[in-house]
A and B are shown apart, each in its own frame.
Chain A
Amino acid sequence: MNNIVVQILLIALAPILGGLIYGLERKVKARMQRRIGPPLLQPFYDFLKFADKRKMIVHSTHAFLGLLHFVSLWFAVAVLIMGGDFILIIFLHLLSTAVIILAGFSTRSIFSHLGANRSAISVLAYEPVLIIIAISAYMLTGSFDVSALYASEIPVLFKMPLAFIALLLILPVKLKKSPFDVSEAHQEVVGGVELEYSGIFYEAVYTAKWLDYIFVYLLVFMFGGANIWLGLVLVALTFIYINALDNSTARVNYKQMLRFCLWVALPIAFVNLLLTMFGVL
């Protein structure tokens, strides 16, 4: 991750990569259910189709916030790829989520509102864990820069295994996957905040989901340290884990989700912080 050309290429191609991951995910999920599943490029077909629909919005504020969500998320991903400050990255990501939450609140639509409320709660669930992981990383490397983690000779995974476990526990919340997909819950709130978008404006929100994959898998990749292969293996394992979990579990309600994140994932991250602080590992 130290080559500037690679970095810029990665940033530019991030949405496309994310789309591929999403396509692969749909394929893998279908295979897990013994279906054939859509083609790998299905997300891009969806993308092109949406470009060709009649433009319809609820009101401009709502539509604009959707676009802003995409742009700001891309920005957060870019800072992450460039190896910027971890705390800043987390807050930028929080902001992009904030934007879409505000968009959800900005319409007088029941489902949109419920979705926004639930998204806000899930932010509350995963945000502390992420920041504590960031602080542990700081204790480890003495710098908040992610690039220090990318360059770490001993893989970060061996230094902070519990942090990795905590991250795995909150990933479904972040990616809106079952069992923690309350904020999207198609059967209950019809997609939540993204419900009122259509046509090219939905495209922004749809692609932002792909960017979220990139964001999350980069966080996982980070645990491989300087060892790119370990990083990729971790990403692959996480990918399978997330999809298996998504396919095999039922949705819990938002209270249970919050309780789980704050009483299970957070203490694990905290123990990890203590271990790093005392230099046990």
Chain B
Amino acid sequence: MAPIIVSLFILPVVVSLLLLFLPKAAAKVLTILATLTLSGISLYLYYSRGDQPIQFAVPAIVDKIVLIADFALLAYVIAQGFLQRNILVWGLAALQAGILAYLAMNMPHGEYMQFYVDNLSLFMFILINVVSGVIAIYSLKYIDEEQCSPFRKKYFLSTIFWFIAAMNLLSAADNLEYFYLFFELTTIASYLFIRFRLDKESKQNALTALWMNQIGGLAILGAIAYTIFTPGYGVPTFSHLLTQAPTVGVILPFAFLAIAGLVKGAQYPFSKWLIGAMVAPTPVSALLHSSTMVKIAPFIILKISPAIQGTPVATVIICLTAFVFIAAAIGALAQDTFKKILAHSTIALLALMILMSAVGTPVAVTAALMLIFFHGVSKCMLFLNAGIMEHVFHMKQTSSMTKLAEVGPYTSLIVAVGFMSLLLPPFGAFIGKWFSIETLGTIGGAVITPGYKLISALILVMIVCGGAVLSLLYFKVLGSMISRTGERDKVKFEKLHPIYRGTMNFLLVTVLLCTIALPWLIPGYFAPVAATIIKSGVPVAFEGFALTIDNVKLPLIPMIAAFVLLPLGIIAAMFVRFKNVDRAKEYACGEKVEYNFASFYFTTEKATPYFVYAGILFFVGILLVGYLM
């Protein structure tokens, strides 16, 4: 098994190097081939998974390479910070370099495996390789339309592939030192991606992303330091930490790791970097948002959830994310740019995923996994579609999308499906949300302390209100898109470039199929992964057309009926045509004015600083609670 897994690390790096030198046509073929291979490998790995996690060590020389690479990266960051006169960037990087040097001297050298691949890693492999692969193929065409030198185009594609490699490594790493390197690698990748267009705004936002993510790196170093110097832990690996945690009883390292995750997941107050990342080319936003980078956040929390479950640290994380869920949803209402709306709703949904992961009950973990998966696919679809809208139809704002249903029925179909898959009952994300409501209800009943009950009830209210706000948001966007003056003659799908069409078709079919196959996907795909996380089986049962997971029942018949009825109905509405019916003008009191229609906007500028302050408070709270425990 191990060699196949290693091929997931090596192959993208090789492809990435090759892409820098190959001519355009060859690069195309190579990208498609590489994507197919990588997806194939990741799917195969999941299929042929054993009961035991796969662990393997690497030669000792790699340890040294990793250390050197760490310093090289930090040197690069410091250089960038100096060049662009950003004290935060180089200051944080220098601080990390110092800590790292000190740690490297004190690092214990026991016998341990550097890589640990369990079902969760395999799950992440599938998401990373398939979705990022689709994005790579998409960007073949997209980057072609970008105005930059041919070399920079190649460089962009190449960066995507080494980013994939870094992500694969990250989800397999067990050693925290390695984990730190890969974490930093993804940070650098996002920095390079965001400043790709090289204008002033891009550079500024890239620097913001850089310094914010440095804090995540710092937190990981903090975790390593505490691991080394806490008697009982000693060896800084995830698996060791998790097995030792109950006996040692110190959870500060986990608090640090959680902070690293939360920063990567752009939770308040660190949400700014993700919003700023919207200036980058679209495939980048898709990469950063949907499939991979931000998914590090729930990934880390899922990994450490057995250790923090039920502790005050988990409680603070839950409070933070519940707060971020509603705050980001409210923030999204004020936006008009399509990509920014997507970014805010990503932050909100990420918060929900992290919340579920921190709750850590079997059902919650399953729900978190489902959210990760469905959000990955459908957000990717929406982002790529935003790119098409920008390049083909020149629409960036939702208020200018009013003619989309007329000029681009296919594109608007994608937007409709994407939004509905994030919101409506039969689709995945909804079920995740539903589970969260159900499990939180259970927690309140299970824990006896009144204070905890109160918190749990408050969180419920936040989730409920946030959900309502999000649905309001989605209606707003869908509504501005569906608007049309008169009857259309006949629906004719617009002509798109085969690459655009192919990737969108693939994602569309994936979303729809996975939704229909949900009753089989839950026991076959999500439950085994959840079982490895919580270290016990997840009871899943079919009973009278209802799927029961642990103690939560899912009535399938009404849900499938709802699936046929509503989303398909709404999509059908875009294409039906009534015969033998007269058409009339809209009623406007008999006036013949052209009506420029508007939508409600909600100003949230006043509230935003408070969101940030609250976020900072919560972050301090996590550390404090972790320390006091």
Contacts and interface: CB of A to CB of B under 8 A. Distances in A.
Q: Do chains A and B touch in the complex (CB under 8 A)?
A: yes
Interface in B22-59: none
Contacts of B612: none
17 contacts: A56-B582, A58-B585, A61-B573, A61-B574, A68-B565, A68-B570, A71-B565, A75-B562, A79-B558, A85-B553, A87-B434, A92-B558, A106-B479, A112-B586, A116-B479, A144-B438, A262-B465
B559 interface: yes
Interface in A134-150: 135, 138-139, 143-145
B151 interface: no
Contacts of B588: 109-110
A170 interface: no
Given A92-B425, A111-B587, 16 more contacts: A60-B576, A75-B562, A91-B425, A91-B434, A102-B479, A102-B570, A105-B483, A107-B586, A113-B598, A120-B600, A124-B468, A127-B468, A195-B587, A196-B587, A198-B584, A277-B444
A152 interface: no
B584 A128 contact: no
Interface string B442-463: 0011000010011001001100
Nearest to A111: B587
Contact of B580 (A55, A79, A91, A195): A55
A226 to B, nearest CB: 22
Nearest to A85: B555
A135 B469 CA distance: 18
A260 to B, nearest CB: 15
B605 interface: no
Interface in B578-629: 578, 580-588, 595, 597-600
B472 interface: yes
Contact of B484 (A84, A108, A120, A127): A108
Interface stretch (B203-211, B306-314, B485-493): B485-493
Interface residues of A, number: 65
A213 to B, nearest CB: 21
> Ordered nearest first, which 7 A-B pairs have the shortest CB separation?
A105-B479, A109-B586, A127-B468, A64-B573, A55-B581, A59-B487, A131-B464
B547 interface: no
Interface in A80-130: 84-85, 87-88, 91-92, 94-95, 98-99, 101-102, 104-113, 116-117, 120-121, 123-124, 127-128
Interface residues of B, number: 65
A274 B454 contact: yes
Contacts of A234: none
Contacts of A35: none
Given A270-B461, A273-B457, A98 B475 contact: yes
A131 B437 contact: yes
A87 B597 CA distance: 34
Contacts of B190: none
Given A84-B555, A108-B595, A128-B464, A58 B586 contact: yes
B391 interface: no
Nearest to B583: A57
A185 interface: no
Contacts of A112: 586
A15 to B, nearest CB: 17
B524 interface: no
B319 interface: no
Contacts of A121: 472, 600
B479 A99 contact: no
A273 B583 contact: no
Main secondary structure of the interface of B (DSSP, over half): helix
B558 A85 contact: yes
Contacts of A111: 587
B587 A190 contact: yes
A63 interface: yes
B124 to A, nearest CB: 30
B581 A139 contact: no
B555 A75 contact: no
A266 to B, nearest CB: 7
A95 B559 CA distance: 12
A132 B569 contact: no
B484 A277 contact: no
Nearest to A58: B586
A72 interface: yes
Contact of A278 (B453, B485, B555): B453
A54 interface: yes
A72 B475 contact: no
Contacts of B141: none
Nearest to A89: B558
Given A65-B573, A84-B555, A87-B437, A139 B445 contact: yes
B14 interface: no
B399 interface: no
B482 A106 contact: yes
Contacts of A139: 441, 444-445
B572 A64 contact: yes
A266 B482 CA distance: 32
A123 B475 CA distance: 11
Interface string B557-571: 011011001100110
Contacts of A99: 566, 569-570
B573 A138 contact: no
B517 to A, nearest CB: 20
Given A95-B562, A106-B483, A135-B437, A124 B469 contact: yes
